[in-house]
Amino acid sequence: MKQRHYHTDDARWQAVENRDANADEQFVFGVITTGIFCRPSCRARHPLRQNIRFFQDIHAAQAAGFRPCKRCQPDKAPLHQQRVERIRRACELMDAREETITLEALAQEMAMSPYHFHRLFKSVTGLTPRAWQTARRHQRLRDALTQGEAVTPAYYQAGFGSGSSYYRDADSALGMTAKQYRSGGKQLSLRYAVVDCHVGRCLVAQSARGICAILLGDDDATLIAELSALFPHAERHLAQNDFSDILEKVIACIHAPDTRLDLPLDFQGTLFQQQVWEALRTIPAGETVSYQMLAAKVGKPNAVRAVASACGANRLAIIVPCHRVIRHDGKLSGYRWGVARKAALLQHEAKKET
């Protein structure tokens, strides 16, 4: 997004009239008749132009004898930063406890209604509070197993409760049993097939838990080698005829990307990667966002490179539409399966929308 400038009083007044939130960090304005100063985006009724004075910052306004507006609170952090900070504190609270915290308890801690807290949390993180806690618990389990922790202690350290269901829940988090994960994915069994699609060849792989890879390429050998690199210790089998229904559904979604794939998905990643992937799946077909916009969408506006890495780690082409992320100047950037293929996908989606 192009940076706006507010160097002249006319430009500043225009920002005040438009309640331009982009100007909030650029200047404040004081109202002579009331003695208060406000952000440009303040929702209060506009004063007359001749009663306004502009100041570079809140310190200059206070030095001139103006006091902060109680409505827009220009002496405090911007509203969006206050919201992000509130969600950050909620995440710290959830991360410090092994047991799942209810939505009602979290909302009470943050002094918000459950409805507004749930909506704010999802808008900042891309996940619901319950999904965030589940993903964080999954990440702790992966970390413990990767560091060599025995399976049962790793379950408890990650925050999985006791009972017959916690093994099943943990297995779902890993995409395999904990013993398989700890040994590098050995004994994991995949079946796959390669088929034509409108952007070349497409490899679809399925584990016992769902579709674990959708890869794009120009030839079968390259795609099979990519699958081997992604799952180096797994047993890989060429699918038989009973796989045809799955292939048809995947290819149908590739051809009509505005539809959701009606098949279970088996994709694992870090908590941050899952946030990015969930955010990607909210981008409608025919639309694009920049990496900066995507980073802001997951509540990490400064993590542009990490967002790009999460896009590159995506194994489910088109179903998790990382091709809809472009540079801030509108140009196409790198794509795991080639920039030319990315351009073809976007062109195909643009035609579908017209």
Chain position carrying tokens 């195909």: 348
Q: In angstroms, rounded to a whole number, what is the distance separating the alpha carbons of residues 299 and 233?
A: 35
- List, by residue number, the catalytic residues: 38, 322
In 3D space, the residue among 43, 2, 79 whose CA is nearest the CA of residue 329 turns out to be 2
Q: In angstroms, rounded to a whole number, what is the distance separating the alpha carbons of residues 287 and 324?
A: 7
246 class by beta-carbon count within 10 Å (0-12 exposed, 13-18 middle, 19+ buried)? middle
Chain position carrying tokens 């916009």: 293
Q: What does the block give as tokens for 210?
A: 């769902």
CA 26 to chain CA centroid, Å, is 28
* Amino acid, single-letter form, for residue 215: L
